Structure 1
């Protein structure tokens, strides 16, 4: 890891999920020597308010990212595939259905 002093605590990204059916949300970072210490520190810092169903910590250097500066292929639009965009479709309307149920 470049930029990190040898023997210094690693940086960990913290994710939590507050309710069933919701995705985990990134809530911040902590520094700790190992995963157990990272979980304990994250618990102390981020679980003070409300109930949380699960808590994840991931070493920051294990997170792979794409920068918005890297326009292709991650952030470029697919304008050559118009079927992916909602403006290509006409909205559904109730026209033509009025009076179908009239007696």
Structure 2
């Protein structure tokens, strides 16, 4: 009888170990995927932030679209969104300055 109980306990411990290992494996893969996704997000963000101020309007328009898409990603944190909004604020400030300079050049 003791052998049956011992065998059952050993089997149960083995099953628990397998389940824990599977869970840890999934968690590790999920963390690795999130890290890879964040790295890709950052690469896209830096590209778009640079291209946003490109003298080539089509590239700047693509950059705006990319930044909008990056801001909509579900897993980014608030700091990431604020960073994107700050880049757009800089762009808007540059546009306002250019419009003011253009208006003053036209009046002068």
Structures share a fold, TM > 0.5? no
More strand by share: 1
Q: Scaled by the length of structure 2, what TM-score is found?
A: 0.21
More contact order relative to length (CA 8 Å, sep ≥ 6) = 1
Bigger proportion of residues as helix: 2
TM-score norm. by structure 1 comes to: 0.22
Whose Rg is larger? 2
